[in-house]
Amino acid sequence: MADIVLTIPTGFPVLIMRLHQINQLDYPATLETTWQNSVQAGDQILLIEEGFLRLIQHANTMQTLAEEKHAEIYYLQSDATAYGLSPQLGTALSEEEWVDLTFTAEANISW
């Protein structure tokens, strides 16, 4: 998949940011490969619900994905609190920040 780039009227290229919402710790292998391959430069990944546990159990994989794809990783602070965990990777968001992130994305993809 190629990056989606638009040119705004000033002539500057703009990279489209997509938000990938991951809500499971593990997916079947083909779906796991599909969602990871669909992440493009500038995309954001939000780990919610059980997906939050990827920051603990699959931390190296998530860090590598973020670095290779130049993607940002987020999680909900409420999920971290519910699980009693403090991951070293990603940025915690409040519920309000989650809503803002969702509205600023050009596309939202829930896996």
Q: Give kind and range of the element (H or E) at residue 46.
A: strand 44-47
Rounded mean pLDDT of 38-66? Answer: 97
Read off φ and ψ for residue 108, nearest 5 degrees: -115, 130
Structural domains in the chain?
Answer: 17-110 (3.40.1260.10)
Confidence band of 44 (pLDDT split at 50, 70, 90): very high
Both structure tokens of 40: 């493009």
Burial code (b: 16+ CB inside 10 Å, e: under 16) for 37-68 equals eebbebbbbbbbeebbbbbbebeeebeebbee
Which residues, 6+ apart, have CB-to-CB distance to 6 below 8 Å? 13, 14, 16
Residue 15: is its pLDDT beyond 90?
no
